[in-house]
Amino acid sequence: MAEKKTKLSIFDTFKTKTEQITGEAARQRSIIQHLTNASSSTAKTRTSISQKIAEKNGIKWKNIYSGVFRDLDEVLIPLGLVEEEGRLPLKRGPKALQQNGMPFYHLTNQGLLVALSLREVQSRETILQEIISDTEGEEKQILMIIQKLISVAPAFGYSLFERYIKTFCQGKISDLRPFTITNLKKSADNSTKIQMELLEGFSKLQKIEREDALVFLKKIE
């Protein structure tokens, strides 16, 4: 079966500027980041999300509202990363909104997993612990191992989530959960093999050799 790329664009870059993410990617990342921090229901509405992103980028919130609306309704919600948490009653505005209320949102467990792949998210340790507390079996064991790796090598540990979510975006895995060894293996690339070779080789060195190797690696970092 042919791989079908998802509409999740958080890692998309420009064709001529491969180090620069697209506007759509930046907006989707900002929505996810905002929902990891927002605590009140009023801060989780489409308007509040748009205003926060606009404030951060020095633009008018009405200019990005339609994009935020589209990202939520056509991408993040259908993929099961975001869901409606409730409705806020309104006394003003369109009659339909007054009757039905304004929706506000939160990240699902799958959405929290995506948040772990974003370097700009500040609360990743807390998010990981929240996910672990809500899982069991093989998933829990795998996540706890990665949690231990993060405690000693955070860049390496979080890179596992980044590669995993990239693989999902590329359509190489159809579902983010369950978080299994089988799906993780699909996200392995050449850098994974190099890191594994380094870990295995490093563990075989004598203490003085490890210290010399560390000094050398720090010099060329």
Cα(90)–Cα(113) distance, rounded to whole angstroms?
33
Cα(2)–Cα(24) distance, rounded to whole angstroms?
25
Listing DSSP states for 23-70 in one string gives: HHHHHHHHHHHHHHH--SGGGGBHHHHHHHHHHHHTS-GGGTHHHHHH
pLDDT tens digit sequence for 7-46: 899 999 998 887 899 999 999 999 999 999 998 999 999 9
pLDDT tens digit sequence for 51-94: 999 999 999 999 999 999 999 999 999 999 999 999 988 777 66
Angle between helices 124-133 and 137-152 (to 10 degrees): 160
Cα(90)–Cα(108) distance, rounded to whole angstroms?
25
Residue 90 identity: L
Mean pLDDT over all residues of the chain? 89
Cα(192)–Cα(210) distance, rounded to whole angstroms?
21
- Beta-carbon contacts of 195 under 8 Å, excluding residues fewer than 6 positions away, are 156
Cα(8)–Cα(168) distance, rounded to whole angstroms?
9
Q: Which domains does the chain have, with CATH numbers?
A: 1-107 (1.10.10)
Residue 98 identity: Q
pLDDT tier at 190, thresholds 50, 70, 90: low
Cβ atoms within 10 Å of 3's Cβ, excluding its own: 11
Cis peptide before 178 (omega within 30 of 0): yes
Answer whether 90's CB lies under 8 Å from 98's CB.
Answer: yes
pLDDT tier at 218, thresholds 50, 70, 90: confident
pTM metric for this prediction: 0.85
Is the pLDDT score of 1 beyond 50? no
